């Protein structure tokens, strides 16, 4: 029997004081299996011990919210008995260690979270962040992650409809891979993870358990050092074909009234799934590990409980339904085993070789897990930069625009999208490259829009403003395709929470997200926190990622960003002040990285957004695109490229600095295309709603032109936009 010491606990990722607390709560020294269970359930990834008290502030209620945070995924009502189940989750550490499998199992894991609730997955999205393109690891990490996302999603047959890919040197030592899935379910047939009833059979289904992924959850709650290669065994190995079988088998069983509770074996595997189900039901659970299907010989209780082998589920069945359920899983060629039962003990009891090898009160692992009130430091709003004429005198609008279009964070990501199947299932009606991806709700006129967004530079500069901005960006991206925003999911990626600055960034980003989502009635229904994203004491910029979901009641009202017709008029909706601080222009052209992010006016966001929706619903505009990174000229260029049409830009009125106007990143703005016959109606609606607008120009045949400063053929714009990533990955 292995001797348990304080050092043993530390090796498992526990703190000294946590080990002491465990011994005190148990009134004894735990054995190695029990200690491993505590280490899994008390790590940051499972317990949210540093974030829990702050996450309570999030706005989570709404008229269409069926299920908010606390389940495998959030659920919203979209009418006609239909509901959408969705969530975003991180798989950062595994993807940095082993990019293909890390990214692949991230996709597999988030899909299980969705179909665990009875929903058939209908769309995938992703938000991936890499280090500087010049860093020696970046290209291989990018290639591996993209192949992993595509490899898993394509094989299981779920379209990848949207995403984002960004680069920043802060991710050199810790990339981010955030995966999101949407599923469709009948709102009366939603399944939950709360166990109920005594002596109900506990069922293990799916793949066999192996030694891959052991300590995966603990690894996700630790920083990296020089020994990163040694952590490869903690990365799970996925099999999308088995997941497809598991999906179909689970959905078949769900059609009958056999399931009481169901839980994916994700982080911390059998440990977390069993404890969470029992905890939610205020029950105990007894497991016989000799009955767990294993693919490797002589696996110990410790290994079985902590394995994160993929494509596995834990189910609490109604009594007497075992044979019925087994037939279904046998048909799909999946493992099925009754491995335990629910009890009234309120403990987890582990049996192995006819011996009780663990016995722990459930509440010590779940509700009574540590909650820390960590010290945090407030970030001051940086002083606004002062730009003068000397900053701009040697510049050319055309050259600046082409440089920005070629920026890694602006450039066309077609090389990535082409590796994802975005048309499988036949319901994708807006593919990657627009403001949001859109899929039809099969057999109806409804469509669901979804987007993922993040803005690390804004959040790093001023976390509260950045948190608000990223919610608003999600809001605008949904509106830009004609969808009414309903709810969001968030993936909160930060550095070490034990550092006051990092913890402060987290707290203030959450505050910003809360303020914006409440004002916009855009609640958070699910999410994930990923801390300790750092290597050798150097952390990432704060990167909250927002996944937004909206409804288009009639998909024929969906709108796209491409310019449609010669002689149509183009307006900028929303006021332009010319905010350059923290813009792509300031960072890439002026080499200036200081200053505050653009301010966020939530009233304007809501008012302008709802007005844009009215314009779309009344068919008064024919294309729309929000203004974000790169400002007006960048947004217009993308619309020109997409529609293969030019734009003659009018002379500017009331603004002396054209660079500030064209490249400023002021918020709450959209570019819209208006047929001439609709101008009076559009102006009337804008005026009635007190919405500012600029008459930007008129669509023309071939070139983007502005006085004598810009005269660029669409082909040249397109080449500048498409060049960087294609060239980067070809070398």
- Is residue 45 part of the annotated active site? The answer reads yes
The token pair that represents 119 in the structure block: 């929903």
The token pair that represents 304 in the structure block: 């079985």
CA distance 160 to 172: 26
Q: Is 597 left (phi over 0), alpha (psi -120 to 50) or beta?
A: beta
Q: Are the C-beta atoms of residues 84 and 231 closer than 8 Å to each other?
A: no
The token pair that represents 361 in the structure block: 């009160």
Mind giving me the DSSP string for 401-413?
HHHHHTSTTTS--
CA distance 568 to 579: 28
- Is residue 422 part of the annotated active site? The answer reads no
Task: List Cβ neighbours of 454 (8 Å cut-off, separation of 6 or more).
Answer: 127, 129, 164, 166, 470, 543, 544, 545, 546
> E strand or H helix at 352, and its extent?
strand 347-352
Rg (CA), the chain: 26
**For residue 12, what are the β-bridge partners?**
none
- Across 453-474, b (16+ Cβ under 10 Å) vs e yields bbbbbbbbbbbbbbbbbbbbbb
CA distance 129 to 532: 16
Active-site pick, 45, 59, 93, 129: 45
**Look-up: residue for tokens 């399931």?**
259
Pairing of strands 259-264, 312-317: antiparallel
Strands lying side by side in the sheet with 447-453 = 428-430, 437-440, 447-453, 543-552, 484-493, 524-530
> At residue 408, what are phi and psi to the nearest 5 degrees?
-50, -30
Active-site pick, 91, 422, 625, 721: 91
CA distance 207 to 108: 13
Residues identified as active-site: 45, 91
């Amino acid at each position: 029997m292995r001797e348990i010491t304080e050092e043993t606990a530390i090796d498992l990722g526990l703190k000294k004081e946590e080990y002491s607390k465990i011994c005190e709560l148990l009134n004894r020294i735990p054995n190695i299996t029990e200690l491993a269970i505590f280490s899994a359930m008390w790590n940051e990834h499972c317990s949210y011990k540093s974030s829990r008290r702050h996450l309570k502030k999030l706005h989570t209620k709404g008229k269409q919210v069926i299920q908010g945070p606390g389940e495998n995924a959030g659920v919203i009502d979209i009418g006609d008995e239909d509901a959408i189940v969705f969530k975003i989750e991180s798989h950062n550490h595994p993807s940095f260690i082993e990019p293909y499998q890390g990214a692949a199992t991230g996709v597999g894991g988030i899909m299980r979270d969705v179909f665990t609730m009875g929903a058939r997955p209908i769309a995938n999205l992703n938000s991936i962040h890499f280090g500087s393109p010049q860093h020696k690891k970046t290209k291989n990490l990018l290639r591996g992650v993209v192949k992993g996302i595509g490899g898993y999603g394509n094989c299981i047959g779920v379209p990848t409809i949207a995403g984002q890919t960004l680069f920043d040197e802060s991710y050199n030592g810790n990339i981010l891979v955030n995966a999101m899935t949407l599923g469709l379910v009948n709102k009366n047939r939603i399944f939950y993870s709360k166990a109920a009833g005594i002596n109900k059979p506990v069922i293990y289904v799916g793949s066999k358990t192996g030694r891959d992924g052991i300590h995966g959850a603990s690894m996700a709650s630790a920083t990296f050092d020089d020994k990163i290669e040694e952590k490869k065994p903690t990365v799970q190995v996925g099999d999308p074909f088995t997941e497809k079988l598991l999906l179909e088998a689970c959905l078949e069983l769900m059609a009958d009234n056999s399931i009481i509770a169901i839980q994916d074996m994700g982080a911390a595997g059998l440990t977390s799934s069993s404890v969470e189900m029992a905890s939610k039901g205020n029950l105990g659970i007894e497991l016989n590990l000799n009955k767990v299907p294993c693919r490797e010989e002589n696996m110990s209780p410790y290994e079985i409980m902590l394995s994160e082998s993929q494509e596995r589920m834990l189910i609490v069945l109604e009594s007497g339904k075992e044979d019925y359920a087994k037939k279904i899983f046998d048909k799909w060629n999946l493992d099925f085993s009754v491995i335990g039962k629910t009890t009234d003990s309120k403990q987890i009891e582990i049996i192995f070789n006819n011996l009780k090898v663990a016995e722990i009160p459930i509440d010590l692992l779940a509700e009574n897990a540590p909650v820390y009130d960590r010290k945090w430091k407030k970030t001051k709003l940086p002083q606004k930069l002062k730009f003068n004429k000397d900053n701009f005198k040697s510049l050319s609008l055309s050259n600046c625009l082409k440089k920005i279009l070629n920026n890694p964070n602006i450039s066309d990501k077609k090389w990535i999208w082409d590796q994802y199947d975005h048309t499988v299932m036949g319901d994708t009606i807006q593919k990657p490259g627009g403001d949001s991806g859109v899929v039809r709700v099969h057999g109806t006129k409804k469509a669901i829009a979804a987007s993922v967004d993040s803005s690390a530079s804004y959040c790093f500069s001023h976390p509260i403003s950045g948190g608000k901005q990223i919610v608003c960006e999600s809001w605008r991206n949904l509106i830009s395709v004609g969808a009414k925003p309903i709810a969001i999911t968030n993936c909160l990626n930060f550095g070490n929470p034990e550092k006051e600055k990092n913890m402060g960034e987290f707290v203030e980003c959450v505050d910003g997200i809360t303020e914006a989502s409440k004002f916009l009635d855009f609640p958070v229904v699910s999410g994930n926190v990923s801390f300790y994203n750092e290597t050798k004491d150097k952390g990432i910029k704060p990167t909250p990622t927002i996944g937004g979901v909206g409804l288009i009641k009639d998909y024929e009202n969906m709108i796209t960003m491409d310019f449609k017709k010669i002689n149509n008029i183009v307006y900028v909706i929303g006021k332009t002040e010319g905010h350059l601080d923290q813009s792509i222009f300031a960072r890439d052209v002026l080499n200036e990285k200081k200053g505050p992010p653009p301010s966020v006016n939530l009233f304007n966001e809501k008012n302008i957004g709802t007005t844009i929706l009215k314009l779309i619903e009344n068919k008064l505009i024919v294309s729309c695109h929000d203004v974000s990174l790169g400002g007006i000229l960048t947004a217009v260029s993308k619309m020109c490229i997409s529609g293969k049409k030019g734009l003659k830009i009018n002379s500017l009125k009331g603004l002396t600095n054209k660079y500030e106007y064209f490249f400023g990143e002021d918020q709450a703005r959209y570019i819209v295309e208006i047929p001439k016959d609709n101008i009076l109606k559009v102006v009337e609606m804008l005026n009635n709603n007190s919405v500012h607008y600029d008459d930007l120009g008129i669509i023309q045949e071939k070139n983007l032109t502005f006085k004598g400063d810009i005269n660029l053929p669409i082909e040249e714009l397109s080449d500048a936009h498409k060049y960087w990533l294609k060239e980067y990955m070809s070398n």
